[in-house]
Structure 1
Amino acid sequence: MAVTTKGTLLVEGHELTITNPNKLLWPEMGITKADYLAKLTELSPFLLRYCRNRHLTTIRFPNGYNEKSFYQKNAPDPVPSFVKLAPLDGINYINLDSLPTLIWLGNLACLEFHPSFHRIGETLPAEWVIDIDPSLEEEPRIMEAAHIIGEVLDSLHIQSIPKTSGATGVQIYIPIQHGYTFEQLRRIGHFIGAFVVKKYPNLFTIERFKKNRGDKIYVDYLQHWYGKTLSAPYTPRAKKDASVSTPLLWKEVELRPSIRDFNLNTVMNRLKTYGDLIEKVPLQNLNAILDRLK
């Protein structure tokens, strides 16, 4: 990616106009829009892997993470010629499948990328994700909770990878063999959620309404559904520390790290060390547990 004059970037042969490159998007971290676009470029091989061929929802923060924001599902006009659209149910979603598209969105101050759970043109899930969502803004037990869910999955002979949401929660990511339905995955998710609630009643809940959860950690097996979205692996988040949704090793979860430690300033060194941890997990066969739940 080469910088040209007049506030433009040449990205894979496409000239993009960059507005307000010195605007601070994360003031406390000193990250300007120009810095952000450089970091997105580094992250792109990993982030695009989980956004490509999905229906993308972004969250835009025109004046930085701590100012007003809005969700964007429909592609904003004008749409550059290199941007591919993915219409669904009357909405012109963007297919985030290239670095020029990512930089274009970054220039629009899209700070978060939330892809659909299914690929474009399909109705089956591309993976399985269990969202571990704290009821408290500061929840010191979140890594303990994630570890317990991981142990339950392990006891079912299901390999998984935890990833920080980048906000307050942890998501358990399970690469799966193609062909399972959202209904089947929800059935397993409910089984796991009900099991940990029974075993750890003071820690977990599967209560849908937040006002009824108290201080318990919600095992959200319902979010994983057709048409819904979740923060992509490696998406930045609009939080003070410029956190990034980051896959972890299970042995790291045991050490109870802070979600804030995984951010735009640290993620690339981590990726150079570990690579993409999700990609290293083989596609899981869930037939055995589904047979038991019939």
Structure 2
Amino acid sequence: MASKAVVLDVPGPEGDRQVRVSSPSRVLWPELGITKLDLANYIIAVGDAFINANGGRPLSLERFPEGIEGERFYSKNPPRGAPDYVRSVVVTYPSARAHPQLILDEPAAAVWAVQMNTVVFHPWASRAETSDFPDQLRIDLDPQPGTDFDDAVPAALELRKVLTEAGLEAFIKTSGNRGLHIFAPIEPKHEFLEVRHAVIAAARELERRMPEKVTTAWWKEERGTRIFVDFNQANRDRTMAGAYSPRALAHAPVSTPLEWSELEGADPRAFTIGTVPERLRMIGNPWERMHENPGTIDTLLEWWKRDLAAGLGELPFPPDYPKMPGEPPRVQPSRAKKA
């Protein structure tokens, strides 16, 4: 039998809002018994930091009506009955189709998303007002089979040096799984494709410095036991779990911003729905000042042009993208050899 709905008081910029949470005892993480109400209270506890990182951006909701072991689906546009403090903005997708996408501006909106059975929040790299122009350069360091979080750490530290040389300040967070996400605030002057090219330039420079440890190879058969620098996360309508977003894994991890001084020796499994609120209270939000001094991607674009002149061209796009100018064939190298 479903549990009785509760009404939560959620602090925000307009004062407290009351948000109704139905089926509060529904278990979302079975191994730990974490409920929908627990998740709502987590969002309230980290609300300011969560909105600082994810608010004001087009955002997709990854929803789990029966908990993380059940089916999932994504919501992009506001459903019927959304409260008046949940807004949307029209964005353009890779297909050139335009459609409204959700924007969360305050903690109550995020708690409302939890009421809609959202577990993972996926914000765009751009803001609602300038949705075609990212204000974050994002790089995903993705451990491949045979590697793990500890292998991503030295790659992240070297990548920070690369970005510093390009005039950018890097910020880091755990992915909530085995990887690391590096963000750099940038002025929103370049469209997604140009930012993607800047990411590829940085990734190639990192690969040159650590050829045995990292790779930009898109095809899994070519990556080996290296950290994949996922340049395609920089594309339009490509997102990663937001800062302070839970992940749909059994131990209820959270994608958690870190100070760079914390990175070596960090245990990503220690950052969970149960531990992150107290961490925030004790040390504050490492990403609080992220956008105080945005940089430019001018140097990285110069590196991109340098690499083009040296014969390093475009890299593959995701399979659901239209064929892009200069893109190599979308066929696995082993299959291409057989053909």
Shorter-chain TM range is 0.7 to 0.9
8 A Cα contact 1:162 1:247, kept in partner: yes
Offset at residue 194 of structure 1 (A): 1.6
How large is the RMSD of aligned CA atoms in angstroms? 2.4
The 1:286/1:14 distance shift into structure 2, 3 A limit, reads closer
Which whole-Å CA distance do the structure 2 matches of 1:98 and 1:84 have between them? 11
Superimposed CA distance per residue, residues 195-218 of structure 1 (whole angstroms, 9 cap, x where no aligned partner): 232332222111122343233211
What secondary structure is seen at the aligned counterpart in 2 of 1:57?
A: strand
Q: Once the 2 structures are TM-superposed, how far is the Cα of residue 21 of structure 1 from its aligned partner? A: 0.9
In structure 1, C-alpha distance between the alignment counterparts of 2:88 and 2:191, rounded to whole Å: 25
Superposed, which structure 2 residues align to 1:227-266 within 5 Å? 227-255=237-265, 257-266=266-275
Structure 2 counterparts to residues 37-76 of structure 1, below 5 A: 37-76=40-79
Partner SS for 2:125: strand
Q: Does 1:110 align with 2:118?
A: yes
Structure 1 equivalent of residue 313 of structure 2: none
* Alpha carbons of structure 1 residues 190 and 289: separation in structure 2 relative to 1, 3 Å: closer
Q: 1:153 to 1:37 in 2, by over 3 A?
A: same
Question: What's 1:127 paired with?
Answer: 136
Conserved 8 A contact 1:236-1:264: yes
Counterpart selection for 1:210 from 206, 220, 226: 220
Within 5 Å, give how 1:82-97 maps onto structure 2. Answer: 82-88=85-91, 89-97=97-105
Q: Secondary structure at the match of 1:223?
A: helix
Secondary structure (helix, strand or coil) at the match of 2:31 reads helix
Quick check: 2:52–2:288 contact (8 Å CA) kept in 1?
no
Amino acid at match of 1:174: A
Tell me: CA distance 1:260–1:87, structure 2 relative to 1, closer, same or farther (3 Å): same
Unmatched tracts of structure 2, length 5 or more: 92-96, 306-339
Preserved CA contact (<8 Å) 2:147 2:225: no
Number of residue pairs matched? 289
Aligned to 2:7: 8
Q: Deviations over 1:10-64 (max 9, x none)?
A: 5456544322111221233332111111110111111112322221101111222
2:175–2:181 contact (8 Å) kept in structure 1: yes
Whether the aligned pair in 1 keeps the contact of 2:167 and 2:299 (CA below 8 Å) is: no
Residue 332 of structure 2: aligned partner? none
**Contact kept? 2:57, 2:103, Cα under 8 Å:** yes
CA deviation after TM superposition for structure 1 residue 137, in Å: 8.2
- Residues in 1 aligned to 2:223 and 2:46: alpha-carbon distance in whole angstroms: 36
Instruction: Please state if 1:161 is matched with 2:171.
Output: yes
What does the per-residue CA deviation read over 1:108-161, in whole Å, with 9 as the maximum and x for residues that have no partner?
220011011111242111211111112238614122222221232234443211
- Residues 258 and 13 of structure 1, relative CA distance in 2, 3 Å threshold: closer
Question: 2:206 corresponds to which residue?
Answer: 196
Computing the radius of gyration over CA atoms, which structure comes out larger, 1 or 2? 2
2: distance between equivalents of 1:292 and 1:114? 29
Contact residue 8 and residue 17 of structure 1 kept, 8 A:
yes
The amino acid that maps onto 1:126 is: D
Q: Distance in 2 between matches of 1:292 and 1:208?
A: 20
